[in-house]
Each structure stands twice: as C-alpha cells, then as structure tokens.
Amino acid sequence: MFLLALVVGWQWEAWRVPERVDAALAVLIAVSLVAAFTLQDVVRSTDVLPHAGMLVDKVTLGPVRLVVAFLVATTLYGCFVRVLRWTRRDVLRPLVSTGARSLDAYVIQAVCLLAVPAMVLPRPWSNGQAMCLAVVVFAVCWAWAEIRVRFGIDKLHRLPARAVAASARRFDRRERVS
C-alpha cells in the first residue's frame, strides 16, 4: 500500500489524479457502497471463512484489505475535495491545514497514540478516554500544521539550516555591537 501511494504521489500531476478522481467520483462512491454492504457477508461466508485471514489480514495486508483501503482513501479524498468546493475554506481549516501536513500528522498521531499512551494510560481505554485522546491528538496535529504555516517551515529538512543561519545572524549582530 505504501509503495502504491508513493508511486501515485510521484505521478500525481502527470497522471492528473485529482481530475480523474473527480470524474469517477460517482462510480467510486457506488463501488465503495457495494463493497461495504457485501464484503463483510462474503468474508464471513462458510466458503470464504477458512481463507479470510489470508484475504483481509492486517499484518500480511491481504489483497482484499489492500483494495478496500485504496478504494476508501480515494473515495474520501474525492468527497472531501468536492465538499471543499462547496464550502468556504475557513470552515474546514483544521482539516485542510492538517491534511496539507498529513505526513507530520501521521507521525504525531503514531507517537501520541502508540508510544505515549502505552506508558501513561493503561489499556483498555474507556470510550471517554479514547475520544479525549483523539481530540487532543488532532489538536496537536492542527497546531503543528499552523505553526509550520506561521513560521514558513515548508520543508523540515531545511529547519536545522535555518536555525543555524538565524543563530549566526544573531551572533554577528552581537559582535558588531560590542
């Protein structure tokens, strides 16, 4: 899945992915709905059940899980783009800014939801704890995205060089004053 997403990301503009998703959105929604209503019954049927692990397993990323994940992500992307056309951007600013920094949000979420709670909050979590954690993590992701916009941090690998250059400028100013 990651490799497929990487290839699509590289070819995003060349393959005109946004236009193609927009043009096929009705079909994507229909296929997603059909998959949602039938897949669970098919996988649980007595004929398929012995092979269900191979088809939908999380660890080995079975082919059914792979196809459904790609289908759902593509359909949600198309729906979200359509909704953004109909609404003002500031209404959905938290989603837009966090989505623009989706890799950052993924890393923050992984750290916040896997590493930190495992050490701080014993599992299983109650529904209230899970909801609070989800809201707090989303707030952290949104805050980080807004900080990057506010301070013009476009690429994180450039951040150390910017910090060194800024401290060098401060050091030069101090020497001139002395």
User: Is pLDDT above 60 for 113?
Assistant: yes
Residue 161 pLDDT: 79
Whether the full predicted model's pTM is greater than 0.85, yes or no, is no
Q: What tens digit of pLDDT does each residue of 50-101 get?
A: 666 666 666 666 777 778 888 999 999 999 989 988 887 788 889 889 988 9
Residue 4 pLDDT: 67
Nearest-10 Cα torsion for 9, 72, 2, 22? -10
Helix axes 63-86, 25-43, angle to 10 degrees: 140
Give dist(CA 118, CA 99) in Å, integer.
Answer: 26
Residue 135 pLDDT: 93
Residue 115 pLDDT: 76
Q: Determine contact, residues 136/89, Cβ cutoff 8 Å.
A: no
